[in-house]
Structure 1
Amino acid sequence: MSETLEDAWQRILAMKNSEADQRKLIEVKAAMAEGLIGREPSSAAKRFSKAEALRLHKQLADRQRESKLAELVANTPSNYILADTIDKLAKMADDIRASDLIAFDLETFGKDGGALDPWKGEIAGFSVTTQRANYYVPIAHVEETDLNAYMTFDVIGMVASALMASKIVMHNAPFDCKWFYVKYGVNLIDSLHADTRIMAMSLDENRSHRLKDLLTDWLKEPSDNFDELFPNTQFNEVPLDVALVYAAGDTEKTLKLYEWISKWYDSRPDLREIKRLFYDVEMPVARQFIWSDIRGIKFDSEGALALDEKLAKEEAELQSKIYETIGKEINLNSPAQVSEVLFEELKLTDLGNGSTNQRFLNRIKGEHKAVELLLEYKEIGKLRSSFTQKLPREVKSDGRIHPWHNTWGAATGRFTCSDPNTQQIPAKRPEVRHLFLANGNDRILVSMDYSQIELRVLAHMANEKVLIDAFEHGRDIHSTTAALISNGKYSYEDIETEKDTDGHECQKLRKRAKIVNFGIVYGMGAGKLADTLEVSKAEAQKIIDDYFRGYPGIKRYMDEQHRLVEKQGFVTDIFGRKRRLHDDIKASKKDRWRLFSAQRQAGNFPIQASAGSILKKAVVDLQAVLPKYDTHIILQVHDELNFDCPRDISREALHEIRAVLENAVKLHVPVRCDIEIYPYKWAEKIDEKEWFSDERNPVN
């Protein structure tokens, strides 16, 4: 008996389909039932298959898309204006000047990622929402307008001064600001009033912050994604009547989103505190790092090529040594082949069901020389793929790398960075950092790094007397902890005396103490600490217990944070920044690990977030100081800021900048920053006293 269509659907829908495929299949089934779509004639005699159903979904989507676009154009609001003539541009400029607040958004295009890169791609047009109307200005569409008779810079010039004099709201503002500045030299950065992406992050750090998702979820205004409306289409190819309703709709809704969040900000005391954080700290920091990214940092592409060749030789030598050690040649980049050799042939301890993850290999590297060599081989391979081969491709036409700092990229409020991620340039292989150069013969790089800021914040928040006393008297914190977890075997003075003596137990204790100090800050449990220290879980737990016994204030603080998050579902940092963990707390009744995760984050977040907030506050305070010395922030790396300074900057100027960082926030302990001077290359430092000696720099 042949299979009926209904039987086929039961079979197909019962398969292990992805969530996306299942949704598509259900849509096709419904459309077929309504007679909107039928089987492919060429497949009608064959058994109905999932592949055919998914092909039918593409046809259905094409029909729905055409219908949707026609509906959008037909329902274009009367206050949506295509600014395709000089007269309309002039009217738009007048409306911008008459508005207290406007919204702005760009539409870009370009091949091979160019639509996301202002140094490679092009601007199709831009939209502006004023208090009177919603405009779209076509700049480089395939469909021509009267504006094509004018130079692009003349068109931009018609509205540039009005835009720069206004207060602007954008969503993901760094994108639009960078494009407009790089392409046209128009400064919208200083006009930027609010970024609704950051505003949304401040209200809920746990969700998607894409404009379309926020509009659907918060404003209950479903919004169409570009890829769904225009698959395989560059925006400059979109018909102008469609481009108008799509682009102007984005800015109109961005302004609505801004107003919606603003009402929430004013609704409760805790949210008013977050509002102050947003306007007083987050927005100035966001504007600063748009400028930082535009400025960029010079990169040595030839040096990267030479370093890659050197690393390739190291990699080949390690490969040969591994082959010699295991007695055969295998594909070292194949986890399956490496696992077979290590655990089946060499019978090494298998801690992860055959996994060759670095975490497991580190714990057994003492069992066989091949493991240590393999770890070195993997490290070299990562250096090559992530840096020496990749970084040169990030260099723009000006010879500089222009990273993208996301100033609130992590749930903790910390920075993230991409394209490239300069936070990941390894300090322990300084030759990679040496590829980043001072921006000219008359410039130098200067780093200012907060010293143990997280531990200082921990001492402050926990009001831990032992830690506070150690910081106040300038004692080494890791030596202090080492003496504490030695159970009286060694004093602080013993640790300090022997900490640099190779092989001495005091040296090992201090290294262990350093891991424990920062591990506690990051909420590290006994299992993770055991892996890191390469000890048993019981030993790791004893170390943690000894730590808390010696620092009772920290134990009280952690316990209080655990109670707090269970009670209210969130914790805050010293600026009122929130970490919302309600879902984990609710789920903990069924999943205890969710509770443990929430408790770990409750202890960790206020320390991490406060340390990051202190750096951000310093960035804000620096705005009044850096212009005096022609100095610019160019990179943020964890607790460190890197500056592009004139070569003749004075010691007093650097000390004034450092003082701003150290005095951004007052804690129960002194805050300290270290200065490092790099005359030519990042991380290739010269001693401050030597740099400012009369013999070397008579100008000083």
Structure 2
Amino acid sequence: MAFGKGCHLHLIDGSAFIFRAYHALPPLTRKSDGLPIGAVSGFCNMLQRYVDGNNGSDAPTHVAVIFDKGSHTFRNEMYDQYKANREAMPEDLRPQIPLTREATIAFNIACEEMEGYEADDIIATLAVQARELGGRCTIISSDKDLMQLVGGGVEMLDAMKNKVIDVEGVEEKFGVGPDRVVDVQALAGDSVDNVPGAPGIGIKTAALLINEYGSLEELLDRAEEIKQPKRRETLIEHRAQIELSKRLVQLDENTPLTFSIDDLEVREPDPEKLLAFLVEMEFRTLSKRIAEKLGAEAPVIEDTPPPAADAPEMPEIKDATYETVRDAAALQKWIDLIYEHGHVAVDTETTGLNEMIADLVGISLCVNAGHACYIPLAHKEGSDDLFGTDAVAEGQMPLQEALDLLKPMLEDDSILKIGQNMKYDAKIFHRYGVELAPFDDTMLISYAQHAGLHNHGMDALSERYLGHSPIPIKSLLGTGKSQITFDRVPIDEATPYAAEDADITLRLWQLLKPQLHQKGVTTVYETLERPLVPVLAQMERHGIKVDRDTLSRMSNAFAQKMAGLEAEIHELAGQDFNVGSPKQLGEILFDKLELPGGKTGKTGAYSTGVDVLEDLATEHELPGKVLDWRQLSKLKSTYTDALQTHINADTGRVHTSYSIVGANTGRLSSSEPNLQNIPVRSEEGRRIREAFVAEQGNVLVSLDYSQIELRILAHVAGIDALKRAFKDGQDIHAMTASEMFDVPLDEMTPDVRRKAKAINFGVIYGISGFGLARNLRIPRAEAQGFIDRYFERFPGIRTYMDETIQFAKDHGYVQTLFGRKINTPEINAKGPGAGFAKRAAINAPIQGTAADVIRRAMIRMPDAIRDLPCKMLLQVHDELIFEVPEDAVEQTIEVVREVMENASDPAVKFDVPLVVEAGQGANWAEAH
């Protein structure tokens, strides 16, 4: 049937359905092979409900589910920061995305997507076509970006609330009609999509302005008339940014579709195809229900083996009983119960997330799943508003009395304490004179088994493995300016939240701990994860001294240098322009200077991302200067300015927080502040390290594994030439250059060695010809030639890469030499993500083995340096930093080097020696 008057088109926002299904339902895996299918199950149920609910006189005549294809669209060409701050897709959702497409096709519903365009653009084009052809269109989505399309026969339906969004609904949301939605969005911006907008102007102000001036263009042209000085300056100063924002939010109603609206006619499902898909997914209930509706025979889905006999029987969380412990007698009963069982799940509630300054508010305990308690200790009366008080709320034990009762049990070697992210609780207890030990950590138990599959926070683990969404903390504390601290939460509300945390932690431990052995990672957990916790806690407590004056001087110096670079850039450009404006920069590079490779989006704005500028830097001086300017700008804002805010008022030191589970490979990550990412290759990055200093009479000592990942590569890939060079103590980059370029070692130039170094390190990370060309600023063909020659000279590397990828495909994970498993769920993916997954699989065993080596060294370090007057302060990938009295430097270096160089023994015997280089100085820059 040709689409026209009387026809009704339904356009379903596929991504909205998928994310709704993923977040609304507990995680589910296919029993036969463990494939995540929770989102697919929810998606199929939603499609079935949609089909069931759309009959009768208003039923659609045409329907399609519209998906996003990839993340790069013409808007990224227009503005390289578009959607740049979006969180990465959850690892367990990624493999489900193609299955939702298959599900749509199985239901015999049209399924459409287009490279380079967002689903919203396809929906816009189809909605406009439907309107022009005299039909109706219902967009099944609540996405505010689609509201610009409403009117003239086009409406939206929020399927979750069963609420129609018409012209009045849009006016209620934006304060303007659909025809002016993009004007309001251009001013207000969008933090989710990273649309900049006008700083300081929100939706309400934007609507007032647009209603007053009629349109965005009129407003910007008459901005001088605005009375409020700040608002006036914002509109004048950020005009280009606002105009760009409008182009970003304006949907493309002329997307070049590869299909017609007539192709979307409603079709009956084919029972055989639909049921075959549901059987493949192992959806028993849904396949029975749909078979009944279709009048077909319900398919038989073979049962998989029953769960392991030792899987614990647990009461449902909704049936749990949680007790508030208000006096010593009640607490003693719990302590007696803990001694009967020999273990307890423990959790602390505090006034904040910074363990160095947060105060203890209460403690939760759980011994049996479904029965937990909360011991309130420092809740205050009333809220923290004008009528609040600092008086202690009634019905609580004195804090010290509770700690005196709990301390012997918490420190007793015969009682296992179970926690989720135990490093936090251990640091809190330490401040109150309690040394928590021994312990198990459910976060680390999950990480040892599931690195690469999902994150390991309690909420994620609870939803995935227990099918339960914990009470959200925001429901107690609120958000934004009205947010309170936990000590202001009424005790009756705090108890179910806090006790549930301990209950969930115990349940996760009962479920996941036995699987360590089944999955062959007990040794990893026991030797690499758990023993690292007290080591890191102590390092974080030590902190490192940071000189505020040095940072302040650097900030000023960076500002001056940026100004100097701007002057040079303007001179090279032949005119002044805003160096921080991608649009203006693009016009200079590609219109004025006519450099090659300019890619424009539909609006004519050029892409000026890092990749583009690195490519252009081989052709012209200006792009390189812009890259330098951007780096300085980032260093200034991220480090020299921000670091000053992290200096602890009491200690004068910065106390970073390390995450053991922050990277899939076993590398540590650090936050508040992040000290792992301070650049070392640039002079300015090195200068930031000058601000990290030793106390009077001490020096900082740095010990750093020399080229550890190349040494591991030589070992695992069996590269004899590299092994020999490492054993003989040769300059490995010079040796590689000699092999690669047929240059004798005594004739080696710094430039040739630099190229070899870039190739050596690049190959570990699976670098492409494109990447190497950017690093060396040479033509791509020449760079690819270097890589090809490298593999010819060292064929074992190619063999290692091929075998590693095959292992990952066969097993779903790769492994370090110490047994750490890094799961690779994407390894069989097709399309742009496939290359990344393969590079990650190649690199993970090398980077992971290096991470394991330094972990082993750190775990042994406290015993090794116990009798020395030094403190271990920081770990940055392959480097450890200590603070040492000047007269103990040599002895410290000797002891630490011994531990680090022999850290792999006795588990792994490397074919090449591990070499540790040492340095010392008044600050980190001098020591490194």
User: TM-score, normalised to structure 1's length?
Assistant: 0.82
Distance 2:861 2:550 in 1: 33
Give the structure 1 partner of residue 704 of structure 2.
Answer: 449
Which of 512, 520, 534 does residue 763 from structure 2 map onto?
A: 520
Distance 1:375 1:681 in 2: 28
Give the structure 2 partner of residue 129 of structure 1.
Answer: 366
Give the structure 2 partner of residue 615 of structure 1.
Answer: 854
Give the structure 1 partner of residue 385 of structure 2.
Answer: none
Give the structure 2 partner of residue 29 of structure 1.
Answer: 162
Which of 413, 424, 427 does residue 175 from structure 1 map onto?
A: 424
Describe the superposition over 1:69-93 as per-residue Cα deviations: whole angstroms up to 9, x where unpaired.
xxxxx97744x32112233233334
Residues 336-347 of structure 1: pairs in structure 2 closer than 5 A: 336-347=583-594
Distance 2:338 2:157 in 1: 44
Distance 1:584 1:204 in 2: 15
Give the structure 2 partner of residue 242 of structure 1.
Answer: 493
Residues 548-559 of structure 1: pairs in structure 2 closer than 5 A: 548-559=791-802
Q: Do the aligned residues in 2 keep the contact of 1:107 with 1:123 (CA within 8 Å)?
A: yes
In structure 2, the CA distance between the partners of 1:638 and 1:129, relative to structure 1 (3 Å rule), is: same
Residues 243-258 of structure 1: pairs in structure 2 closer than 5 A: 243-258=494-509
Which of 180, 187, 193 does residue 439 from structure 2 map onto?
A: 193
Residues 184-223 of structure 1: pairs in structure 2 closer than 5 A: 184-188=432-436, 191-205=437-451, 206-223=453-470
Q: Do the aligned residues in 2 keep the contact of 1:76 with 1:245 (CA within 8 Å)?
A: no
Residues 92-171 of structure 1: pairs in structure 2 closer than 5 A: 92-109=334-351, 115-130=352-367, 134-143=372-381, 145-146=393-394, 150=398, 152-165=399-412, 166-171=415-420
The answer to whether structure 1 residue 377 and structure 2 residue 624 are counterparts is: no
Which of 371, 392, 401 does residue 654 from structure 2 map onto?
A: 401
The answer to whether structure 1 residue 529 and structure 2 residue 785 are counterparts is: no
Give the structure 2 partner of residue 419 of structure 1.
Answer: 672
Q: Do the aligned residues in 2 keep the contact of 1:414 with 1:612 (CA within 8 Å)?
A: yes
Q: Do the aligned residues in 1 keep the contact of 2:865 with 2:895 (CA within 8 Å)?
A: no
Distance 1:661 1:556 in 2: 30
**Which one scores higher on RCO, CA 8 angstroms, separation ≥ 6?**
1
Q: Do the aligned residues in 1 keep the contact of 2:874 with 2:881 (CA within 8 Å)?
A: yes
The aligned amino acid for 2:160 is E
The aligned amino acid for 1:200 is S
The aligned amino acid for 2:769 is A
In structure 2, the CA distance between the partners of 1:75 and 1:171, relative to structure 1 (3 Å rule), is: closer
- Provide the secondary structure at the position in 2 that maps to 1:584: coil
Distance 1:575 1:336 in 2: 50
In structure 2, the CA distance between the partners of 1:123 and 1:23, relative to structure 1 (3 Å rule), is: farther
- Provide the secondary structure at the position in 1 that maps to 2:814: strand
- Provide the secondary structure at the position in 2 that maps to 1:634: strand
- What displacement does 1:147 show? 5.6
Distance 2:156 2:471 in 1: 17
The aligned amino acid for 2:757 is K
The answer to whether structure 1 residue 478 and structure 2 residue 725 are counterparts is: no
In structure 2, the CA distance between the partners of 1:77 and 1:568, relative to structure 1 (3 Å rule), is: closer
The answer to whether structure 1 residue 635 and structure 2 residue 756 are counterparts is: no
Distance 2:691 2:538 in 1: 22
Structure 1: 5+ residue stretches without partners: 33-38, 55-73, 110-114, 496-505, 687-700
User: What percent identity do the matched residue pairs reach?
Assistant: 29
Describe the superposition over 1:333-365 as per-residue Cα deviations: whole angstroms up to 9, x where unpaired.
111112122221221233554222233223323
The structure in which a higher percent of residues are helix is: 1
In structure 2, the CA distance between the partners of 1:597 and 1:575, relative to structure 1 (3 Å rule), is: same
Distance 1:359 1:27 in 2: 41
The aligned amino acid for 2:494 is A
Give the structure 1 partner of residue 689 of structure 2.
Answer: 433
Aligned length: 618
Describe the superposition over 1:94-116 as per-residue Cα deviations: whole angstroms up to 9, x where unpaired.
4444442211112233xxxxx22
Q: Do the aligned residues in 2 keep the contact of 1:629 with 1:653 (CA within 8 Å)?
A: yes
The aligned amino acid for 2:687 is E
The answer to whether structure 1 residue 83 and structure 2 residue 339 are counterparts is: no
Give the structure 1 partner of residue 237 of structure 2.
Answer: none
Q: Do the aligned residues in 2 keep the contact of 1:470 with 1:480 (CA within 8 Å)?
A: yes
Distance 1:377 1:433 in 2: 19
Give the structure 1 partner of residue 140 of structure 2.
Answer: 13
- What displacement does 1:547 show? 0.7
Give the structure 1 partner of residue 912 of structure 2.
Answer: 669
Give the structure 2 partner of residue 660 of structure 1.
Answer: 899
Distance 2:819 2:157 in 1: 44
Give the structure 2 partner of residue 692 of structure 1.
Answer: none
Distance 2:597 2:854 in 1: 43
In structure 2, the CA distance between the partners of 1:399 and 1:436, relative to structure 1 (3 Å rule), is: same
Moved more, 330-339 or 96-105: 96-105
Give the structure 2 partner of residue 263 of structure 1.
Answer: 514
In structure 2, the CA distance between the partners of 1:15 and 1:436, relative to structure 1 (3 Å rule), is: same
- Provide the secondary structure at the position in 2 that maps to 1:684: helix
Distance 1:579 1:23 in 2: 44
Describe the superposition over 1:470-501 as per-residue Cα deviations: whole angstroms up to 9, x where unpaired.
11111111011111221x3x123322xxxxxx
- Provide the secondary structure at the position in 1 that maps to 2:633: helix
Distance 1:208 1:455 in 2: 29
Moved more, 301-310 or 84-93: 84-93
Distance 2:848 2:58 in 1: 57
In structure 2, the CA distance between the partners of 1:460 and 1:23, relative to structure 1 (3 Å rule), is: farther
Distance 1:641 1:415 in 2: 12
- Provide the secondary structure at the position in 2 that maps to 1:635: strand
- What displacement does 1:620 show? 1.9
Moved more, 447-456 or 127-136: 127-136
In structure 2, the CA distance between the partners of 1:510 and 1:173, relative to structure 1 (3 Å rule), is: same
Q: Do the aligned residues in 2 keep the contact of 1:633 with 1:643 (CA within 8 Å)?
A: yes
Distance 2:324 2:380 in 1: 15
Distance 2:715 2:156 in 1: 52
Residues 562-641 of structure 1: pairs in structure 2 closer than 5 A: 562-585=805-828, 587-588=829-830, 591=831, 593-641=832-880
Moved more, 312-321 or 663-672: 312-321
Give the structure 2 partner of residue 694 of structure 1.
Answer: none
- Provide the secondary structure at the position in 2 that maps to 1:208: coil
Distance 1:384 1:142 in 2: 41
Describe the superposition over 1:519-542 as per-residue Cα deviations: whole angstroms up to 9, x where unpaired.
111111222122222233332222
Q: Do the aligned residues in 2 keep the contact of 1:352 with 1:360 (CA within 8 Å)?
A: no
In structure 2, the CA distance between the partners of 1:261 and 1:480, relative to structure 1 (3 Å rule), is: same
- What displacement does 1:52 show? 6.0
Q: Do the aligned residues in 2 keep the contact of 1:426 with 1:433 (CA within 8 Å)?
A: no
The answer to whether structure 1 residue 350 and structure 2 residue 597 are counterparts is: yes
Distance 2:515 2:875 in 1: 31
Which of 789, 802, 808 does residue 546 from structure 1 map onto?
A: 789
- What displacement does 1:651 show? 2.2
The aligned amino acid for 2:162 is K
In structure 2, the CA distance between the partners of 1:446 and 1:24, relative to structure 1 (3 Å rule), is: farther
The aligned amino acid for 1:627 is R
Q: Do the aligned residues in 2 keep the contact of 1:433 with 1:681 (CA within 8 Å)?
A: yes
The aligned amino acid for 1:563 is Q
Moved more, 235-244 or 522-531: 235-244
Distance 2:590 2:598 in 1: 10
In structure 2, the CA distance between the partners of 1:149 and 1:566, relative to structure 1 (3 Å rule), is: closer
- Provide the secondary structure at the position in 2 that maps to 1:446: strand
RMSD over aligned Cα atoms: 3.1
The aligned amino acid for 2:421 is N
